[in-house]
Structure 1
Amino acid sequence: MGFEAFPMFLAMALWASFSANGVADTAERVDGLELHFYRDSCPSAEVIVKQKARTSMVGDPSTAAALLRLAFHDYQVDGCDASVLLGDSSSLITETLSGKNFGIQKLDTIDEIKSSLESVCPQTVSCADIIQLAAREAIFLSRQGGPYIEVLTGRRDTLAASKERADEQLPEADISVDELIEIFGQKNISIEEGVALHSLAPAARADPAISPSHAFVLKIICSGPSVSDVAFATNDATAISFDNRYFIDTLNGRGLLKIDSDISRDPRTLSHVVRFGISLEQFFERFSYGFSKLSNYKALVGDVGKIRRDSRFSN
C-alpha cells in the first residue's frame, strides 16, 4: 500500500497588523487590486462566497484546509489566475493531473460558488477572486476561529492551464531547506515568512527522523484499510483548528516529512520554528506578510485575462 501525506496549509492567517476590533488592516489598493472591487458590479459577491463556504465547512470539517491548499496551488503555478480549476472537461482537470497536485479537493465548492454568482451577476466575478475569498472564509470560519481578512479583489482568469507547468513550479515532496528558501525568495518572501507559509507536499514516505512513538502511529495508519489503496495522515494534530501546533509537533519529533525535521534543525530556520511554536501572534504576523505577497502574486488585472463563465472551462 502506498503512503501519502495529506498536504495542507500550516497556517490560515493574513494579518499585517490588527486593529482594536480584530480586523486585519491592509492597503486598499495594490497592483491593480482593491478592497471591495465588486461593490457596484456585484454587491452581494463576498456574502455569497461566505455563505457557500460556510455550508461546505459545516458539512465537512476538512473544507478549510482544502480551500487553503487550493489557493496555494493556484498562485504557485504562474500566479493567481484560477488555472488550477481549468480542464478539458469537468472530470479532467489539467493541472490536477500533476502528481504534485495529489489530493486537491473542494473544486466542487468553487464550482457551486461560481454558479451562484453567475445567477446573480453574470460574468462579473472572477474564479481567481473566488478562490482567494473562499480561502479568507476558511480562515475566519475555521474551528477555534481566525481573523477576518480584508482580501483585495479585481483578479481576472486565465484561459490556459498546463500539467507540465504544475510539475515544474509546485515543490517536490522531498524539498530541502535550500529549495524552500529559493522558491519563496523568487517571490520576494523572506526566510521567516517562508517558514510561516511552509506547506507540505505529498510524500511517498515519512520522515526517518520522526520519534519512534509517532512512527508507530503512522505505521498503523498506513497498514489499515483505505480507499483506492492510499492511506492518509495529517501533518498537524489539530489540522482543522486555527493554531500553531505544527511547529510544536515538529520540534518534538512529530513531523511527517523530512522537511519538517530539517527546518527544526537548520540554523537558518530553527529560530523561527521555535518562536512560532511559542508565540501564536508572531506566527500570524509573519505569515500575513508572506501570504499577502503570494495572494497578489502575478494576478491578472485590467484588460489582461478574462472573467470565465464556468470555473472549469475557457469561455
Structure 2
Amino acid sequence: MSKHILVFLVSSILVVGCMGGKGQGHGNGNGNGGGLKLKYYDNLCRSVSVEKTVRDIVWSKVAADPTMAAKLLRLHYHDCFVRGCDGSILLDPTQNTTTEKTAGPNRSISGYEVIDEIKTKLEASCPEIVSCADIVALAARDAVSFQFRREMWPVFTGRKDGTISLASEVGGNLPSANANFTTLLAQFGTKGLSLNDLVTLSGAHTIGISHCTLVARRLYNFTGAGDADPSLDQTYAKTLRKLCPNPVNSATAIEMDPNSSRSFDSNYYRALNQHKGLFVSDATLLTNRQSATIAKVLENQMVFFANFARSMVKMGAVEVLTGGQGEVRKNCRVINGQ
C-alpha cells in the first residue's frame, strides 16, 4: 500500500469516526440527545474528586491484577449493548427476575467487586450523587489507561441507573463471538454505531482471555465434518488445538490476542490480518471489503488509539438515561427501595 493511499484512508477513517451520534459525544448513540457532560460531578460532589477516586481504585486493582483491565472494559461493553449504558448489568437477580448478569454470555463477566468498592467510597462522601453507570464507564477508561498513565479517552458523565434488567434481552442485543458480519453490523447499527465503530471496538480483543468452549466448533467441527474453519491460519489453528484438545475443557483459558494479551495496542489487527483472529466475529471483519480496509489501516497504533477514543465516547452514550430518567442507586446491585 502506497504512502499516499494510506494517508487518504487514515483521513477517511478519522472523518468517519467523527460522524454519527452527537459530534462532541454527549448525546446518545441514536442521536436523541443524552445530556452527558465532561466533569459533571465537579460541582455536585465537592468533598472528593469523583474521577480521581475512581482512577485511584481502578489503577490499584489493575496494578495488583493486570487481567482486571480487560474485565472492566468488557463489563462496560456488555452493559451498553443491553438497554444502553445504564448499569443494568450490575443488578443481582431477585426472587421474581433473572437479570442480565445471569444470562449465558454474562456469566463469565467479573469486576463487579471493583465497582462495589468505588461506589461504597463515593457514597461515604457524596451519598446518592454518583451513578453506578458512570462508575462503570469511568472504570473502563481508567483500566485501559493504567498502562499509559494518561486518559485514553474523555468520559462524559451524568448517566442515571436503569431499573430494569432482564436476562431475556441479552441474547438479541449483545454481539456474539460466533456472529457473522451482517449480524454484527445490524447490532451495532441498532445502537447508532457505524461500520468504523464495529471494526474499531473489536480492537478491545487486544487484551484479555477467552475460553476454549467459545472456539471449539471453529477448531473441530466448523462444517460438521470435523474440520477447522478454513479462514483460520492453519498454523495458528494447530496451536489452538494443542491449547484446546478435543473434547475441550470449558475452564481452559486462551489469549484473545496471540501476540500481547496484556498490552493494549494495535497488534490485534496485525494478527487479524494474518487470519489469526480468535473468534468468528473477528474473522468475519475480513469478509467485507470496507471493513477489511479499515482493519488494515488500524494496524497503525496512533490511528487505532484515536479511533478507539472516538468510538468509546459514542458507545458510552448509547441509550443513556439522564435528567429525570432512571435513578442513582445507593447499592449498584439493588434497585432503590428493594
After TM superposition, is the score higher than 0.5? yes
* Equivalent in 157, 160, 165 of residue 156 of structure 1: 160
* Equivalent in 121, 124, 127 of residue 116 of structure 1: 121
- What do residues 209-259 of structure 1 show as CA deviations (whole Å, max 9, x unaligned)? 3223222222222249x9x84211122131221211111001112221223
* Equivalent in 195, 201, 212 of residue 234 of structure 2: 212
Structure with greater strand share of residues: 1
- What do residues 169-189 of structure 1 show as CA deviations (whole Å, max 9, x unaligned)? 112231111111111122332
Distance in structure 1 (CA, Å) of the matches to 2:291 and 2:149: 27
Please say if residues 139 and 145 of structure 1, whose CA atoms lie closer than 8 Å, have aligned partners that are also in contact.
no
Letter of the structure 2 residue corresponding to residue 70 of structure 1: L
Give 1:96 shift: 1.9
Which of structures 1 and 2 has the bigger CA Rg? Answer: 2
Query: Are residue 245 (structure 1) and residue 267 (structure 2) matched?
Result: yes
Counterpart for residue 103 of structure 1:
108
Please say if residues 153 and 310 of structure 2, whose CA atoms lie closer than 8 Å, have aligned partners that are also in contact.
no
Counterpart for residue 33 of structure 1:
36
The secondary structure found in structure 1 opposite 2:93 is strand
Distance in structure 2 (CA, Å) of the matches to 1:45 and 1:238: 32
Counterpart for residue 260 of structure 1:
282
Give 1:303 shift: 0.9
Counterpart for residue 132 of structure 1:
137
Please say if residues 126 and 308 of structure 1, whose CA atoms lie closer than 8 Å, have aligned partners that are also in contact.
yes
Letter of the structure 1 residue corresponding to residue 304 of structure 2: F
Distance in structure 2 (CA, Å) of the matches to 1:182 and 1:168: 11
The secondary structure found in structure 2 opposite 1:152 is coil
The secondary structure found in structure 1 opposite 2:164 is coil
Please say if residues 35 and 150 of structure 1, whose CA atoms lie closer than 8 Å, have aligned partners that are also in contact.
yes
Identity of aligned residues (%): 30
State the aligned residue count: 287
Deviates more, 1:262-271 or 1:157-166: 262-271
Please say if residues 45 and 117 of structure 1, whose CA atoms lie closer than 8 Å, have aligned partners that are also in contact.
yes
- Higher RCO (CA < 8 A, seq sep 6+): 1
* Equivalent in 304, 310, 315 of residue 331 of structure 2: 310
Change (3 A) 1:146 1:39: closer
Please say if residues 100 and 171 of structure 1, whose CA atoms lie closer than 8 Å, have aligned partners that are also in contact.
no
Please report the RMSD computed on the Cα atoms of aligned residues, expressed in angstroms. Answer: 2.6
Please say if residues 215 and 279 of structure 2, whose CA atoms lie closer than 8 Å, have aligned partners that are also in contact.
no
Give 1:275 shift: 0.8
* Equivalent in 287, 298, 301 of residue 319 of structure 2: 298
Give 1:56 shift: 0.8
Change (3 A) 1:32 1:75: same
Change (3 A) 1:194 1:229: closer
Change (3 A) 1:148 1:87: same
Counterpart for residue 281 of structure 1:
302
